[in-house]
Amino acid sequence: RFTTWLHAVASNSARSTYRSLKRRAAERPTDELPPYADPRTTSVIAGSRLDLLEALETVGATHPELVEPLVLRDVQE
């Protein structure tokens, strides 16, 4: 079936990417690491939240009446 094949392809691709990232992390010397972790690269949720806050600041500067409904919608989700 197509869905079984697609699942196998996606699983193999995810495993391959994981192994590649793991290898790349092992090859990287620790003295090159930044002094702090950037949430945008360590967590998709935290990065999305920071992007949302920056966008709200931009919208708030031009249309302050839109900020509250957008925040309430984000909190609801």
User: E strands within the chain?
Assistant: none
Q: Total structural domains in the chain?
A: 2
Could you give the CA distance from residue 63 to residue 70 in angstroms, rounded to a whole number? Answer: 11
Is there a single domain that holds both residue 53 and residue 72?
Answer: yes
Is there a single domain that holds both residue 43 and residue 29?
Answer: no
Q: What is the mean pLDDT of residues 53-58?
A: 80
Is there a single domain that holds both residue 29 and residue 44?
Answer: no
pTM of the entire structure? 0.36
Could you give the CA distance from residue 77 to residue 48 in angstroms, rounded to a whole number? Answer: 13
Q: Which residue has the higher pLDDT, 16 or 70?
A: 16
Rg (CA), the chain: 20
Is there a single domain that holds both residue 66 and residue 48?
Answer: yes
Is there a single domain that holds both residue 24 and residue 43?
Answer: no
User: Tell me, what's the pLDDT at 73?
Assistant: 65
Residue-wise pLDDT tens digits, 1-39: 788 888 888 888 888 888 887 777 666 666 666 667 666
Domain of residue 20, residue span: 1-33
